Structure 1
């Protein structure tokens, strides 16, 4: 059974952007519908997050037939000045131990 944050919960450790990026890193061919279901977000919300990630240079996509195939830019530095040391690859290594092929298909958090 899925555990949702309690109604009184005001924050989480990971942002929705991080959750979406983790799902794409796990499966570059994942559908927006599946990301939304795993991250408990709307499809429209996931689409907006993907646009944000692409505009910031963390992600690209290529259309293959009717599906998108995503590519995470792992060498990109994290966005916030306080996080400026590590690169995206280091964050993903922590969030996806043993990647590729991480066994869990659910969003972290």
Structure 2
């Protein structure tokens, strides 16, 4: 790999799913557009992630007027076998 390409390539330790959880775990209500801007992904990606996390039981969705609000399920176990002994709350606590 060319040296300049290696310097400009970006990556992160956390997935976009984790970023969405972290943003919502603070208790502030965000729209999909606000999350997309904060995380740096498309609004469509945020909507897919919200659907994944809701279907997986990692958060619940409540309709308030025309907006959806999300509540993170801090007691839900992480899905990966390596982290399965930990909860979403453990992850959020560790990253705060």
Question: Unaligned stretches of 5+ in structure 2?
Answer: 1-6
1:52 alignment counterpart:
52
Structure 1 stretches of 4+ moved >2 Å: 6-9
Higher relative contact order (CA 8 A, sep 6+): 1
Report the TM-score, using the length of structure 2 for normalisation: 0.86
Structure 1 Cα separation of the partners of residues 70 and 80 of structure 2: 23
The total of aligned residue pairs comes to 90
Q: CA deviation at 1:57?
A: 0.8
Coordinate RMSD, CA, aligned: 1.4
Report the TM-score, using the length of structure 1 for normalisation: 0.76
Structure 1 Cα separation of the partners of residues 30 and 15 of structure 2: 19
The question of whether the paired residues in 2 share the 8 Å contact of 1:28 and 1:70 is answered with no
Greater gyration radius: 2
| Larger helix fraction of residues | 2
